[in-house]
Amino acid sequence: MKTVLCYGDSLTWGYDAASLDRHPLKDRWPSVLQATLGGDIQVIAEGLNGRTTAFDDHLAGADRNGARVLPTVLMT
């Protein structure tokens, strides 16, 4: 089985700017992608609201530097 990793920020996480909450799981784009691709491909959603591309955010409560965290995500 092939696997697609959706690694991203608030868009992948499912942030809904209108409600300041998350979109329902079925409406988040990784879920829509999974439904489109079918059961032969596994889609993993690894989104983090506030994730940056490659910069440290010292005010955040979690490590949101996407470039630094990606190798760990790929190994798990």
Query: Residue ranges of the domains in the chain?
Result: 2-75
Q: What is the DSSP letter of 1?
A: -
Tokens of 21: 């909450």
Distance between CA atoms of residues 47 and 27, nearest Å: 14
Tokens of 24: 């329902």
Q: Can you tell me which residue has the tokens 């920020």?
A: 9
Q: What is the pLDDT along the chain (76 residues), one digit of tens a residue?
A: 999 999 999 999 999 999 999 999 999 999 999 999 999 999 999 999 888 877 787 777 677 888 888 898 899 7
